[in-house]
Amino acid sequence: MDYQGEHLIRPPSEADSIILQVTVGCSHNRCTFCGTYKAEPFRLKNEETIAVDLEFAARYCRRQSRLFLADGDVLILPQTRLRRLLQDIRQRLPWVKRVRLYANAKAVRHKSIQELQELAALGLDRVYLGLESGHDPTLAAIDKGSTAEQMIAAGKAVRAAGLFLSVTALLGIAGRENSAAHAEATGRVLAAMAPNQVGILTLMLLPGTPLYQAAERGEFMLPDQVGLLRELRRMVAAMGDLRCQLQSNHPSNYLAINARLPRDREAVLAAIDRALAGETSLRPEAWRAL
């Protein structure tokens, strides 16, 4: 398989998927906390290279029934090319039943619900969308490129097209000053988006990123463990009766949660309260990772 660029990332749940790189980098690539693609200009890979990768997968990946389209934002491709790509996957890898990809809200907004439905009919079944925060001042500060209202519209469009929506939120991204406002706004926006799955990660400051540099200058302060747990509690409480799978089992988190909401809502809040009271062991700092 032809993999270009310094980093090739995929969601943890796609560990057993065929990884087909269609784009290199991220079409937005301005988020102040992310250093994944900073040195990588965004580009579309040529279709001839992708065709060779599909032939490789056809020969060697017959045991894998899922496929993930990398890198950061494949949905930004023109509809005609996405249609052709999914048709090629169906023709050359007929045993692959599920195709997934990352998307940002801007890319989703550039697709009509009918276009998203067309992609779903051709095999796309899951979209991973990075919300990070539902707090507009925080979204602006991290240069996310979308407002909370636009994030909600994007999430609703994905769901209306019949696609599985997985949304990530980021603890600590608002710093100490806006921690509570970020948590509560993010919970409310998640409830409005109504994703099938919510994945919660915790910010880890990466050297070389604008947010890391702001922290070094004393302009940004990451909440401590207690502050992050309080943020998590506020966020879950603000989700109300949202029906979804809630997970905070990413290795960046101090407290792992795997629950169904709203069924397990009170149990999740109680687990966070026990952690705040020091009754639960948290992930050691040395074990945390991106």
* pLDDT for position 264: 98
Q: What's the CA gap between 20 and 173, in Å, rounded?
A: 30
Closest CA to 230 of 160, 171, 290, 161: 171
The CA-CA-CA angle for residues 44, 48, 51, to 5°, reads 100
Would you say 18 and 66 are in contact if contact means Cβ atoms under 8 Å apart? yes
What pLDDT is attached to residue 20? 97
On average, the pLDDT of the chain sits at: 95
* Tokens linked to 189: 């926006």
The whole-number pLDDT of residue 8 equals: 86
Burial class (CB in 10 A: 0-12, 13-18, 19+), 242: buried
When pLDDT is cut at 50, 70 and 90, the band that residue 9 belongs to is confident
Give, in order, the Cα–Cα distances in Å from 141 to each of 124, 135, 160, 184, 219. Answer: 32, 10, 30, 17, 12
What are the residue boundaries of the structural domains of the chain, listed by start? 12-287
149: pLDDT strictly greater than 90: yes
Q: Specify whether domain 12-287 bears CATH 3.20.20.70.
A: yes
> How do the residues of the chain divide into helix, strand and coil, expressed in percent and rounded to 5?
40, 15, 40
